[in-house]
Amino acid sequence: MIIDLPSTTTSQVNSKLVHLREQGGAYTIGRVLTLVVVADDSERTEEVIDAANHASREHPCRVIVVARGARKAAARLDAQIRVGGDAGASEVIVLRLYGPLASEGASCVVPLLLPDAPVVAWWPFEAPTVPSRDPIGMLATRRITDAAAERNPTRALEARAKSYADGDTDLAWTRLTLWRAVLASALDLPPHERVQGATVTGEADSPSADLLAAWLAARLRLPVRRAKATSGPGIVRVELDRRSGPVVLSRPDGAVGELSQPGQPPRRVALQRRQVRDCLAEELRRLDADEIYASALRSLGKIDRRSRTTTPAAKKPVKAKAGS
């Protein structure tokens, strides 16, 4: 069910929510948090709502979408309420703000927050320079950004490192969960030798590749070389040098990876590129500070960027296989 409320107020939106609850059932019972999504009013807004709806099936919540419209228009608030099949396991409130209201998202959000429930803020595209000091960010216990969606991902990631506060996280970090799990499990197998060097190869502007290199630098306590890939999406290859031979994890096609270790046959592993909705659902599983992410941000300076050429194919001990 979708209810449009043109030229409305937040008190009228609240009254409509109460009416819907009395008329159609307890829509708000069992909500575990409020997810506030901040984006510009564009065609991409529906993509964001779909991702939030998918994540709500694991985390029932109230989703408030702040869609900022034209700032030169007259002050106006157009609202839309989605419940039932149009809202997943949540209730979605879309606030389209025009004119001076476009800069007053926080004051429009406050009356609609669920009482006694944590607030998570998500900027799926352009994020404020300091999320924790943004008016909406100050309402949230968890702040989610996405450096990969910024105009300059590398610069955006550097800004995240400078402005980090407890509760900050980025979907570029969440996309690394599978990579970190496979690499950590590979080092748990014999021979248990110290890693003497590491190289991460990926797209030049991939913030996830930078964060993976920084995470390895923090965990292994050594500088990590960051190489530029000429083909393949995102992260393409990770090589960990040890005395007995390198541990190589490659994913040339963005779907299926291959892990090669000395003395063991190559293994194919699922390393498909993760969708935004899956990353968002993962981030909503925890509302405390992510110390490992903070450690990776602090280690960005340990990445060796002096030589960013692609690792030669001749050095690969495993022939890459195309995935489906």
Report d(CA 120, CA 118) in Å as an integer: 7
User: Which CATH number does the domain 2-171 belong to among 1.20.1070, 3.40.50, 1.10.357, 2.40.50?
Assistant: 3.40.50
The answer to whether the beta carbons of residues 301 and 218 sit under 8 Å apart is no
- Is pLDDT above 80 for 102? yes
**What is the Cα–Cα distance from 175 to 142, expressed in whole angstroms?**
17
- Calculate Rg over the CA atoms of the chain: 22
Residue-averaged pLDDT of the chain = 89
Question: pTM, whole model, 2 decimals?
Answer: 0.90
Q: Is the pLDDT of residue 314 over 80?
A: no
Least reliable range by pLDDT among 2-6, 76-80, 188-192, 211-215: 188-192
323 band by pLDDT with thresholds 50, 70 and 90: very low
pLDDT band at 324 (very low <50, low <70, confident <90, very high): very low
pLDDT in tens, 104-118: 999 999 999 999 999
Task: In whole angstroms, give the CA distance from residue 166 to residue 257.
Answer: 33
| Tokens encoding 185 | 């499990």
Read off the pLDDT of residues 78-101 as tens digits, 9 standing for 90 and up.
999 998 776 666 789 999 999 999
Strand order, beta sheet including 168-170: 2-5, 76-82, 91-98, 61-68, 33-40, 119-122, 142-145, 168-170
Closest alpha carbon to 213 in 290, 304, 279, 147: 304
Extents of the domains making up the chain: 2-171, 177-315
Q: What angle do CA 158, 163, 229 make, to 5 degrees?
A: 20
**15-68 pLDDT per residue, tens:** 998 888 887 655 545 788 999 999 998 889 999 999 999 999 899 999 999 999
How many C-beta atoms lie closer than 10 Å to residue 221's C-beta? 11
pLDDT at position 231: 85
